[in-house]
């Protein structure tokens, strides 16, 4: 799956001369927490998050009253608080690389570019949706987690055994095992019940059942 299939297309954006108050109101109205900043030539020059706006506000210990604070924020522009060194991703990048970048750098979003043109934005919420879909969380079935030996043909044998029992694999995810010689496999299966699934997995050579549930 590539980024363009998951991103929010044509995202709302702001300009650097907008006030902090204007942008805060826009975020509240649109129920969003990240806004790309474009210059007059529609070139991406920054990014603003709710956290940036909070940091720009006076602390709770200030002696200013609410009207003075509001006045100051109405005069403060986004170019003063935005993140200028924006990490971006291309629209044809794969989702797992976008997720890796966000996880490694602690980012809540990535503006998506086509060349130098902003065409979308991908957020941690988008990644959650991908995660939910990848695991088939919205589909009924038997969810089973087990360890398999890391060797050619092992996965094909498991899939064939499930098909021969009349089972259908709704989702399949692999992850690292406890050592390099094993993988952890998470399946959601429909068409066979829990006891049949458990018996099948336990009967397969080179597998170790970890968890099973409906």
**pLDDT per residue over 92-151, tens digit each?**
999 999 999 999 999 999 999 999 999 999 999 999 999 898 888 899 999 999 999 988
Query: What pLDDT, on the 0 to 100 scale, is given for residue 76?
Result: 81
Low-confidence ranges of the chain (pLDDT < 50): 59-61, 63
- The answer to whether 98 and 89 have CB atoms below 8 angstroms apart is yes
Query: What pLDDT, on the 0 to 100 scale, is given for residue 212?
Result: 95
What does DSSP assign to residue 64? -
- The answer to whether 76 and 20 have CB atoms below 8 angstroms apart is yes
Taking CA atoms, 132 is separated from 46, 127, 171, in Å, by 30, 9, 10
Query: What pLDDT, on the 0 to 100 scale, is given for residue 206?
Result: 86
* Span 136-213 CATH architecture: 2-Layer Sandwich (3.30)
Query: What pLDDT, on the 0 to 100 scale, is given for residue 70?
Result: 62
Query: What pLDDT, on the 0 to 100 scale, is given for residue 11?
Result: 95
Query: What pLDDT, on the 0 to 100 scale, is given for residue 125?
Result: 92
The closest of 45, 39, 47 to 23, measured between CA atoms, is: 47
Q: How far is it, in rounded angstroms, from Cα 64 to Cα 80?
A: 20
Query: What pLDDT, on the 0 to 100 scale, is given for residue 59?
Result: 47
The closest of 141, 134, 145, 131 to 185, measured between CA atoms, is: 145
CATH superfamily of domain region 3-131 = CBS-domain (3.10.580.10)
Query: What pLDDT, on the 0 to 100 scale, is given for residue 61?
Result: 38
Here the tokens at position 78 are: 């986004």
3-state secondary structure of 34: strand
Q: Mean pLDDT over all residues of the chain? A: 89
Query: What pLDDT, on the 0 to 100 scale, is given for residue 69?
Result: 54
Q: Provide the residue ranges of all domains of the chain, joining segments of one domain with +.
A: 3-131, 136-213
């Amino acid at each position: 799956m590539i980024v363009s299939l998951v991103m929010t297309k044509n995202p709302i954006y702001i300009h650097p001369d907008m006030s902090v108050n204007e942008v805060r109101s826009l975020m509240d109205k649109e129920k969003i927490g990240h806004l790309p900043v474009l210059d007059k030539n529609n070139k991406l020059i920054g990014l603003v998050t709710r956290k940036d706006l909070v940091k720009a506000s006076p602390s709770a210990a200030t002696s200013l009253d609410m009207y003075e604070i509001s006045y100051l924020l109405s005069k403060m522009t986004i170019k003063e608080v935005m993140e200028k060194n924006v990490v971006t991703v291309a629209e044809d990048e794969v989702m797992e690389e976008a997720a890796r970048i966000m996880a490694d750098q602690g980012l809540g979003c990535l503006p998506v570019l086509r060349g130098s043109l902003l065409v979308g934005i991908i957020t941690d919420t988008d990644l959650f949706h991908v995660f939910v879909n990848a695991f088939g969380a919205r589909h009924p079935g038997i969810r089973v987690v087990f360890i398999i030996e890391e060797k050619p043909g092992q996965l094909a044998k498991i899939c064939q055994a499930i098909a021969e029992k009349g089972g259908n694999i709704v989702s399949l995810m692999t992850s690292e095992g406890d050592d390099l010689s094993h993988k952890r496999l998470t399946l959601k299966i429909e068409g066979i019940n829990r006891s049949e699934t458990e018996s099948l997995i336990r009967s397969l050579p080179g597998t170790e059942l970890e968890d099973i549930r409906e």
